Amino acid sequence: MSLAVLFTFALTSFLIAVVPGPTVTVIVANSLRAGSRAGLLNIAGTQAGLAPMILIVAAGLETVVAFMAEWFFIVKILGAAYLVWLGIRLWRSDGQIGSGQVAPPRGGYFWQGVLVIWSNPKVLLLLGAIVPNFVDPSGSAFWQTLALGGVFMVVATACDLSYALLAGRAGRLLTVGRVRTVERISGTLLIGGGLWMAALKRA
């Protein structure tokens, strides 16, 4: 695998990862409310959840997804409901951003990140659609897929870190009068993301 291929894939990964989606929305919302540490734990969870997805792609995406189609659909619906629930909680919040008094989600921010990434099986299908285009047929598809998946994880982590750190700093600078506005905007985005995810056609 040439450096040119790796660079092109890294650029493609950046264009995918930098676009805000449900995962980024959760990271930003938690970083605003509870500080950057909450967002960093979310990122650790999303990357831990992404690793087995890459293994699935390497093992043979088409066969596995066909076998587990119903399971993926159920997880997607549960994840969509979870995002809506998070959004409603933000709307009903008391405005304690960055005060250290914001209670972490049940199970912690790490497992919240795992749940959010796995609630969107489109990530798995996206990897399965893009990664094969960069695999050299003359080499081992399995190991090349793992390598490309590793590149994607590094790029996605860098993008998410930027969101978490910037949001954490913004949260510390917010005045009390603006807290409720930020929470309602974040809550609306989460609810919208959950409804959008639920409306997606079955894979």
Q: Contact at 8 Å (CB) between 116 and 21?
A: no
Give percent of the chain above pLDDT 70: 65
Q: What is the mean pLDDT of the chain?
A: 75
pLDDT in tens, 70-103: 565 666 677 677 667 777 876 776 555 444 445 5
Phi, psi dihedrals of residue 39, rounded to the nearest 5° = -65, -40
Could you please report the per-residue DSSP string of 90-137? Answer: HHT----TTSS-PPPPTTHHHHHHHHHHHT-THHHHHHHHHGGGG--T
Residues 46-64 have a mean pLDDT of 79
Q: Which amino acid is at 23?
A: T
**Does the pLDDT value for residue 105 go beyond 90?**
no
Q: Average pLDDT in the 50-59 region?
A: 85
Cα angle for residues 173, 179, 185 (degrees, 5° grid) = 110
Can you tell me the mean pLDDT for 43-71?
75
* Per-residue pLDDT tens digits for 139-194: 787 888 889 989 999 999 998 998 898 888 876 665 545 556 666 776 777 677 66
Query: What is the pLDDT at residue 76?
Result: 65
> Cα–Cα distance between 104 and 134 in angstroms, integer?
40
CA–CA distance, 156 with 160 (Å, rounded to integer): 6
Is this prediction's pTM over 0.75? no
Per-residue pLDDT, averaged over 33-50, amounts to 89
Q: Is 200 helix (H, G, I), strand (E, B) or coil?
A: coil
